[in-house]
């Protein structure tokens, strides 16, 4: 049974506006055809011009209320309207406040989300973030503004009422509206939200619930999946679901766990995304640790070789479900907010959706990136660790603005690495290049195994390698691209398929005067019937008591794979064998020994 990582605090604010003051002379906006018409209208109404907008042929005029109807009908006046109200669309939680961090939602500026261009925030609308959790209060202002798609894998319906509260808080951080002028700002800009209820009201979720939710999210258009839950026991079912998502190009993000001050056992699914012992390298997603308001690792946050990156998770601010109990989710009044419930809570559960939201911005900035590219950009753009991995925060703290800038740079000037080669027999000569590369690393994978480094970092642009027949080699060359990423060439594949072979030796002695003439023949049979038998060099060897030596001459096999010798043996004992050393296409083979005794 997997248990959700953390539950949280809350806030509710209702701001009643003061009653408007009654004005005897209110202003009217007049659209005029000419300045003469404007002067006549102002004179007839008994008003005065407060402000001119010449470029728009408009003016704001202060006049008695009854003058509005009068001015609408005057010659040369195109329209006369009362000013209409506009309200700031700034999110109240982002406004400066005398609280730790300088704003209720301090984590937004701490992650430099506030410096991401508006165009990128808007472009994120092409992406969908799926939050797999306890459901969501779809009437919470920041979620309602997104009109989220919903589904419960627990009851097979669209009802995802969040009685627990965890899912609403997580959803608001991942993809809550940042332009509705209410509550908090999600980290995903205009990204669409898919809420999949997979956890029960007590906060528990099984691996099967998790797997079902992952598959549902993938099948219903999710680009990014956030999983703010975990447990110490790995699951094949869940791992297969993660493979299904990765195979469909979906980026997965998960909370790393809240037991860093305790047993600190690795948490799954996070450790499926960034594998154990990987030290932040590779993987199919991101395992997210937590930091506090100062940027330091949170005392509760798990640490270890599976940590990818960190984000604010200690006393962060988010939206609270109206269906969740107030004792579990204390409310915090949010000045400037007129609806919704809000509060504070802590856990890697809340660091994870911030990274998931930032991933949407990175992808929006450069849609050509793959899911693993997006993960790499976020890791390499992280702040604090200067590109060096640490077990507590991975590659560092989330820096959304730096990640977006890097993604855009890759889009406008995509670097590339070329790799070519020439093979002669079992030797291959490789050459490579990349624009402005400072160094190269050459790697090879043999028969599909994990790649190993052959050379590098090196400034050389070519090298030769000897290969062993019977294997397939896949070479790649990678370079650091100047933005912190390691870019790889397309693989150069060399296949040296080799058939197995068997070799049998037989002897037929014929007695002579003083020596015995022995006819020997060896039969070479390839394991693959399509492999040629003719023209293979077979040696006859004899054992001298300590080692095998060439005995007679080497001969070529016939079209049927036979090699023949006629040898006269003096009196004595002999042990002979046939040996084929092997070629590129046919493995070597040695016959059993044949004993010969001449009296």
Give mean pLDDT, residues 115-131.
96
User: Quick one: 279 and 299 in the same domain?
Assistant: yes
389: number of Cβ within 10 Å: 19
The region that residue 181 occupies, defined by phi over 0 for left and psi between -120 and 50 for alpha, beta otherwise, is left
Dig out the tokens for 238 from the structure: 């869940």
Per-residue confidence at 485, pLDDT binned at 50, 70, 90?
A: low
Q: Which one of 495, 525, 540 terminates a domain?
A: 495
User: Quick one: 345 and 446 in the same domain?
Assistant: no
| pTM above threshold 0.75 | no
Per-residue confidence at 580, pLDDT binned at 50, 70, 90?
A: very high
Give mean pLDDT, residues 48-71.
81
Q: Please tell me which residue, 514 or 86, carries the higher pLDDT value.
A: 514
Dig out the tokens for 80 from the structure: 């006369």
Give mean pLDDT, residues 541-550.
90
Domain count, the chain: 4
Supply the CATH number for residue 291's domain. 3.40.50.200
Per-residue confidence at 400, pLDDT binned at 50, 70, 90?
A: very high
**271 within a domain of the structure (yes/no):** yes
Measured CA to CA, the distance from residue 397 to residue 381 in angstroms comes to: 9
CA terminus-to-terminus distance, the chain: 81
Give the gyration radius of the chain's Cα atoms: 37
Per-residue confidence at 411, pLDDT binned at 50, 70, 90?
A: confident
Residue 471's pLDDT is: 86
Measured CA to CA, the distance from residue 441 to residue 576 in angstroms comes to: 49
Q: Which of 16-25, 327-336, 455-464 has the weakest average pLDDT?
A: 16-25
Cis (ω within 30 of 0) for the bond into 457? yes
Residue 319's pLDDT is: 97
Q: Which one of 411, 432, 449 terminates a domain?
A: 411
* Residue 513 reports pLDDT greater than 50: yes
User: Quick one: 425 and 334 in the same domain?
Assistant: no
Q: Please tell me which residue, 224 or 511, carries the higher pLDDT value.
A: 224
Task: Calculate what percentage of the chain has a pLDDT beyond 70.
Answer: 92
User: Quick one: 336 and 441 in the same domain?
Assistant: no
Active site residue 133: yes
Residue 10's pLDDT is: 24
528: number of Cβ within 10 Å: 12
**12 within a domain of the structure (yes/no):** no
DSSP letter at 124 equals G
pLDDT in tens, 352-374: 999 999 999 999 999 999 999 99
User: Quick one: 74 and 108 in the same domain?
Assistant: no
As a dihedral over the C-alpha atoms of residue 350, residue 354, residue 359, residue 364, rounded to 10 degrees, the angle is 140
Measured CA to CA, the distance from residue 446 to residue 426 in angstroms comes to: 14
User: Quick one: 272 and 357 in the same domain?
Assistant: yes
* Residue 304 reports pLDDT greater than 50: yes
**List of long-range contacts for 547-555, beta carbons under 8 Å, 24+ apart:** 548/577, 548/579, 551/576
3-state helix, strand, coil in the chain (%, to 5): 20, 35, 45
Q: Which one of 81, 100, 120 terminates a domain?
A: 81
Closest of 521, 561, 556, 562 to residue 537, by C-alpha = 556
Q: Are strands 224-227 and 251-255 parallel, antiparallel or unpaired?
A: parallel
Q: What is the rounded average pLDDT for all residues in the chain?
A: 87
Residue 68's pLDDT is: 73
Residue 529's pLDDT is: 85
To 5 degrees, how large is the angle CA 439–CA 441–CA 444? Answer: 165
409: CB partners within 8 A, 6+ apart = 483
**86 within a domain of the structure (yes/no):** no
Residue 528's pLDDT is: 86
CB 256 within 8 A of CB 270: yes
User: Quick one: 323 and 275 in the same domain?
Assistant: yes
Supply the CATH number for residue 50's domain. 3.30.70.80
396: CB partners within 8 A, 6+ apart = 309, 310, 382, 383, 384, 385, 386, 390
Catalytic residue among 45, 228, 321, 349: 349
**249 within a domain of the structure (yes/no):** yes
Q: Please tell me which residue, 50 or 85, carries the higher pLDDT value.
A: 50
**112 within a domain of the structure (yes/no):** yes
Q: Which residue shows structure tokens 């990128």?
A: 120
- Of the spans 91-105, 203-217, 300-314, 467-481, which averages the highest pLDDT? 300-314
Residue 412's pLDDT is: 64
Give mean pLDDT, residues 522-541.
91
For residue 442, list its beta bridge partners.
Answer: 455, 477
| Residues making up the chain, counted from first to last | 599
Per-residue confidence at 85, pLDDT binned at 50, 70, 90?
A: low
For residue 575, list its beta bridge partners.
Answer: 595
**18 within a domain of the structure (yes/no):** no
CB 248 within 8 A of CB 218: yes
**146 within a domain of the structure (yes/no):** yes
Q: Are strands 562-569 and 229-230 parallel, antiparallel or unpaired?
A: unpaired
Q: How far is CA 84 from its chain centroid?
A: 46
pLDDT in tens, 132-148: 999 999 999 999 999 99
User: Quick one: 389 and 490 in the same domain?
Assistant: no
Catalytic residue among 133, 190, 345, 481: 133
User: Quick one: 145 and 199 in the same domain?
Assistant: yes
What is the secondary structure of 299-354 as a DSSP string?
TT---STT--EEEE-SSEEEEE-TTS-TTTS-----TT--SSEEEEE-SHHHHHHH
Active site residue 177: no
User: Quick one: 594 and 450 in the same domain?
Assistant: no
CB 253 within 8 A of CB 359: yes
Q: Which residue shows structure tokens 């889009």?
A: 411
Measured CA to CA, the distance from residue 498 to residue 530 in angstroms comes to: 12
Q: Could you list the residue range(s) of the whole structural domain that residue 138 is in?
A: 2-7+91-411
Dig out the tokens for 284 from the structure: 């199919």
Q: Please tell me which residue, 32 or 97, carries the higher pLDDT value.
A: 32
**17 within a domain of the structure (yes/no):** no
Q: Which residue shows structure tokens 């959304």?
A: 400
Q: Which of 46-60, 104-118, 459-473, 575-589 has the weakest average pLDDT?
A: 46-60
What is the secondary structure of 514-581 as a DSSP string?
SSEEEEEEEEEEESSTTS--TT-EEEEEEE-SSSEEE-S--EE--TTSEEEEEEEE-SEEEEEEEEE-
Active site residue 202: no
Catalytic residue among 166, 209, 290, 346: 166
Residue 22's pLDDT is: 35
User: Quick one: 407 and 440 in the same domain?
Assistant: no
Supply the CATH number for residue 510's domain. 2.60.40.10
Give mean pLDDT, residues 71-94.
71
Residue 262's pLDDT is: 92
pLDDT in tens, 314-358: 999 999 999 999 999 999 999 999 999 999 999 999 999 999 999
CB 110 within 8 A of CB 312: yes
* Residue 179 reports pLDDT greater than 70: yes
247: CB partners within 8 A, 6+ apart = none
User: Quick one: 403 and 425 in the same domain?
Assistant: no
Q: Please tell me which residue, 311 or 236, carries the higher pLDDT value.
A: 311
Cα 457 to Cα 229, 269, 486, distances in angstroms: 39, 34, 12
């Amino acid at each position: 049974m997997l248990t959700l990582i953390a539950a949280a605090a809350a806030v509710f604010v209702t701001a009643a506006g003061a009653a408007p003051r009654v004005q005897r002379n209110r202003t009217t906006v007049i659209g005029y055809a000419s300045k003469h018409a404007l002067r006549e209208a102002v004179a007839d109404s008994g008003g005065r011009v407060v402000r001119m907008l010449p470029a728009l042929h408009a003016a704001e005029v202060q006049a008695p209320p009854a003058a509005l109807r009068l001015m609408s009908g005057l010659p040369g006046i195109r329209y006369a309207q009362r000013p209409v109200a506009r309200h700031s669309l700034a999110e109240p939680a982002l406004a400066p406040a005398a609280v730790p961090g300088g704003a209720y939602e301090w984590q937004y500026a701490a992650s430099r989300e506030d410096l991401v261009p508006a165009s990128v925030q808007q472009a994120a609308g092409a992406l969908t973030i799926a939050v797999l959790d306890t459901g969501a209060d779809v009437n919470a202002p920041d979620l309602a503004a997104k009109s989220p798609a919903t589904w419960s894998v627990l009851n097979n319906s669209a009802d995802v009422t969040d009685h627990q509260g965890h899912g609403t808080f997580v959803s608001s951080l991942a993809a809550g509206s940042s332009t509705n002028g209410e509550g908090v700002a999600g980290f995903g800009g205009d990204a669409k939200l898919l809420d999949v209820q997979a956890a029960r009201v007590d906060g528990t979720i099984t691996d099967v619930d998790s797997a079902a939710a992952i598959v549902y999210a993938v099948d219903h258009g999710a680009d990014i999946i956030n999983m703010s839950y975990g447990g110490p026991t790995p699951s094949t079912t869940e791992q297969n679901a993660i493979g299904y998502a990765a195979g469909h190009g979906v980026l997965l993000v998960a909370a790393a766990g809240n037991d860093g001050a305790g047993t600190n056992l690795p948490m799954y699914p996070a450790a499926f995304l960034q594998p154990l012992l990987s030290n932040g390298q590779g993987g199919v997603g991101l395992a997210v640790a937590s930091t506090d308001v100062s940027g330091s690792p949170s005392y509760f946050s798990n640490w270890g070789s599976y940590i990818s990156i960190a984000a604010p998770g200690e006393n962060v601010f988010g939206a609270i479900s109206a269906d969740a109990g107030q004792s579990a989710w204390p409310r915090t009044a949010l000045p400037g907010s007129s609806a919704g419930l809000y509060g504070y809570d802590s856990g890697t559960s809340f660091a994870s959706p911030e990274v998931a939201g930032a991933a949407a911005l990175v992808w929006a900035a450069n849609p050509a990136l793959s899911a693993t590219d997006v993960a790499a950009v976020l890791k390499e753009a992280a702040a604090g660790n200067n590109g060096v991995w640490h077990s507590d925060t991975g590659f560092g703290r989330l820096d959304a603005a730096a990640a977006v800038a890097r993604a855009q740079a890759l889009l406008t000037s995509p670097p590339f690495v070329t790799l070519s080669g020439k093979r002669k027999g079992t030797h291959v000569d490789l050459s490579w290049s990349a624009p402005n590369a400072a160094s190269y690393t050459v790697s090879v994978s043999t028969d599909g195994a994990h790649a190993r480094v052959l050379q590098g970092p090196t400034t050389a642009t070519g090298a030769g390698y000897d290969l062993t027949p019977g294997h397939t080699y896949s070479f790649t060359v990678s370079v650091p691209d100047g933005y912190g990423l390691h870019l790889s060439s397309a693989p150069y594949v060399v296949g040296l398929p080799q058939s197995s072979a068997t070799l049998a030796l037989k002897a037929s002695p014929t007695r002579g005067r003083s020596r015995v003439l022995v006819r020997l023949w060896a039969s070479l049979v390839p394991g693959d019937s399509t492999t040629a038998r003719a023209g293979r060099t077979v040696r006859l060897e004899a054992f001298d008591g300590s080692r095998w030596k060439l005995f007679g001459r080497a001969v070529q096999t016939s079209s049927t794979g036979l090699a023949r010798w006629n040898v006269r043996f003096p009196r004595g004992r002999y042990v002979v064998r046939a040996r084929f050393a092997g070629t590129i296409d046919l493995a070597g083979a040695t016959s059993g020994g044949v004993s010969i005794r001449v009296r």
